[in-house]
Amino acid sequence: MILWKSKILNLKSLVTSLFGGQRRGRLLRRYFLTSVLMIAGGLITSGILETYFRYQESREQLALLQQEVANVAALEIEQFIHDIETAMRAATKYQDIARQGISAEYEFELRRLLYLAPAITEAAAIDADGVAQAHLSRSRAVSSDAPRNFAASPAFQQVRVRQRHPYFGPVYFVRGSEPYMTIALPIERFAKSVAGVLQAEVNLKYVWQVVSGIKQGKAGYAYVVNRSGDLIAHPDISLVLQKRNVAQLSQVKTAFSPDAGRAKEKWIISSNLKGEKVISSFAIMPSLDWAVFIERPVEEAYEPLYASMLRTSTLLLIGLGVALLASVFVARRVLGPLRMLGQGVERIGSGDLDFRVNLKTGDEIERLADQFNEMAAHLREAYTGLEQKVAERTQALTIANEKLEEASRHKSQFLANVNHELRTPVSAIIGYARLVLRATEGQIAPLQSENLKVLLNNAERLLSQIDSLLEFSKIEAGKVEVHVEPVKVSEVIQGAISTIEPSLTGGNVRIVREIAPDLPALNTDREKLRQILLNLLENAVKFTDRGEIKIAASQQNGSVQLVVSDTGIGIPKEELDKIFEEFHRGDSSSTKNYRGTGLGLAIVKKFVDLLGGEVAVESEVDKGSTFTVMLPFDYRETGLGQEKDSRFSLIPHL
């Protein structure tokens, strides 16, 4: 019955903590917050990961698309130059070159070259001495008086040095209009024998048309740059005409860096000439040492990504809201039946054992309600006749307590009577023994004198044990009085030492005193303080065969500290918690040879508590023990002095 009642009280406490008072709805809040953290955490984490990976994929796809466009543009430009180079190589294969060399008849080949390569605006066949033997132009007539010596031309010089390799000159502009470049090829009389140079001026308008026709998104554009950073073609032709150099741009440095060919990603996010952030992809044209760049503003490039992030965030919020609503619904579905169970616990806790909970949820909560009703039925059955049983057991317990109190009272009275009856004859034995010793001094044999001394010592020991029993019986009976008076600690210590010094025989043990000179007087009970010190010193003398016993007194943190230490046999660690118990003499074999009642330290403990102090002990076997007593300077200022225990009386000494 007690077990069932304990369970129902615990259940009531739980339900009250969940649904009662200021904590009402706490479980719902916890469940809601847990759901928010778990569901929102999962959704937000998945949304962030999805956005991150989509961002990476979108950026890679964008860069890949731009890279493909750049590669196509570079391929078209290279093919354009390659077609011109092919047409020029065909013109260098003039059939009569080996027989006649370069002559004016070469003009026919130049006309055919201009027809096959519309981008060539001017061509010249130059002999080995740098003199143009044939010179033809689309835009102007070439007179016989025109300069015909090209010996100082960089194109002629480069081809003569490199022989079989073509020469591609820098871009230049004719009267600030369209860009041009010079291409030169060797004219060979036969293999490895250069007879002259075929030089052509090529209009690069086609390159500008290719670049201008590239539209990457809304604001994307393309441009061509050589290794020096000079613009070759740009949608804004004015930048090319201004001979703008873009070598300082990060994308240009990256494209023409030594590691550009080995790089896995040929794109970079950087700033363009206007300082706008762009995604720049590039493709290198090794034969020309040019690079094509495709650039697109970052804001425009990431617009689809931002839209995707917005859709993902919207779906995330919608999913989070639906999940939270579902969590609230489930929480209320669970908490409603729990509240009904809580009401049932409160009803049964208030004494209504006939109350039953009616829940039909078809799940674990319904089974819990059935078990609750079963428990209530058991409680109803167990509660029948409980009051009568409690009354009977209470009466039996009251009788047992009265018997225990009577037995304790008889024990204390018995101890007091026995001690009183024993003290008188023992005191007489001591008196007669001392009288016989003085009367027979020098008249009896030494052995008889020694026996009388042994008799006297044992009688005094017996009287001391009887006094201890008597003192302890007074404490148990509550007949101890506290006499408060100013006490000099040094005088009490000296008196205690004088009492135990006769028991120190053989000179193997010495007493050391360490008393602080500025120690003020105590307002306490002199006799009880003396008894505390005397019992501690007697205990030290009893268990110390050689060495020293030290007693020290000092002021510590507003209290007086008394320390009694010895170099005796020590106390085992397992006995330290028991030495202040009544009649405890220790179980160690090393202490069985020392006689005593086991009340000395018990009296010390009770007197120290009575005077408002504390006592502690530290000891190590075969190295000695140290007892520390802390007493207040004024007993009357302690709790015991201000509100006296009903068993003791406080008698001030004026």
Identify the CATH number of the domain in which residue 573 sits: 3.30.565.10
Q: What are 241-268's pLDDT values in tens digits?
A: 888 888 898 888 888 887 765 655 667 8
Tell me the pLDDT band of 653, cut-offs 50, 70 and 90: very low
Number of domains in the chain: 4
**Quick one: 59 exposed, middle or buried, by C-beta within 10 A (0-12, 13-18, 19+)?**
middle
The one-letter amino acid at 354: D
Specify whether 371 is located in the same domain as 406: no
Mean of pLDDT values over 59-82: 84
Q: What are 401-415's pLDDT values in tens digits?
A: 888 777 766 666 666
Tell me the pLDDT band of 631, cut-offs 50, 70 and 90: very high
Confidence at residue 189, expressed as pLDDT on a 0 to 100 scale: 72
Contact assessment for residue 580 and residue 571, using Cβ atoms and an 8 Å cutoff: no
**Measured between alpha carbons, how far is residue 537 from residues 76, 457, 619, 627, 647 in Å?**
115, 18, 15, 10, 28
Specify whether 117 is located in the same domain as 193: yes
Specify whether 283 is located in the same domain as 339: no
Q: Which of 383, 403, 436 is the last residue of a domain?
A: 383
> What's the domain range around 312?
2-53+307-383
Specify whether 422 is located in the same domain as 453: yes
If one compares 418 and 113, the residue with the highest pLDDT of the two is: 113
Supply the Cα-derived Rg of the chain in whole angstroms: 59
Distance CA 383, CA 375 (A): 12
Q: Distance of alpha carbon 402 from its chain centroid, rounded?
A: 61
pTM: 0.44
If one compares 476 and 324, the residue with the highest pLDDT of the two is: 324
Contact assessment for residue 223 and residue 214, using Cβ atoms and an 8 Å cutoff: no
Q: What are 200-232's pLDDT values in tens digits?
A: 999 888 888 888 888 777 788 888 998 888 888
SS3 label, residue 429: helix
Confidence at residue 461, expressed as pLDDT on a 0 to 100 scale: 62
Token match 């013109």: residue?
A: 91
Q: Which of 271, 300, 329 is the last residue of a domain?
A: 300
Mean pLDDT, rounded, of the chain? 76
| Range among 16-25, 210-219, 221-230, 576-585 with highest mean pLDDT value | 221-230
Mean of pLDDT values over 42-58: 75
Contact assessment for residue 117 and residue 83, using Cβ atoms and an 8 Å cutoff: yes
Share of the chain above pLDDT 70, in %: 74
Token match 């369970």: residue?
A: 7
Identify the CATH number of the domain in which residue 435 sits: 1.10.287
Specify whether 245 is located in the same domain as 359: no
On the question of pLDDT at 282 being above 60, the answer is yes
Mean of pLDDT values over 462-490: 72
Tell me the pLDDT band of 18, cut-offs 50, 70 and 90: very low
SS3 label, residue 375: helix
Specify whether 560 is located in the same domain as 638: yes
Specify whether 158 is located in the same domain as 284: yes
Contact assessment for residue 88 and residue 175, using Cβ atoms and an 8 Å cutoff: no
Q: Which of 479, 506, 522 is the last residue of a domain?
A: 479
Main-chain dihedrals φ then ψ at residue 511, nearest 5 degrees: -105, 130
If one compares 116 and 36, the residue with the highest pLDDT of the two is: 116
If one compares 438 and 564, the residue with the highest pLDDT of the two is: 564
Out of 35-39, 155-159, 496-500, least confident range: 35-39
On the question of pLDDT at 47 being above 50, the answer is yes
Angle, in degrees to the nearest 10, between helices 489-500 and 526-542: 40
Confidence at residue 564, expressed as pLDDT on a 0 to 100 scale: 94
SS3 label, residue 571: coil
Which DSSP letter does residue 573 get?
G
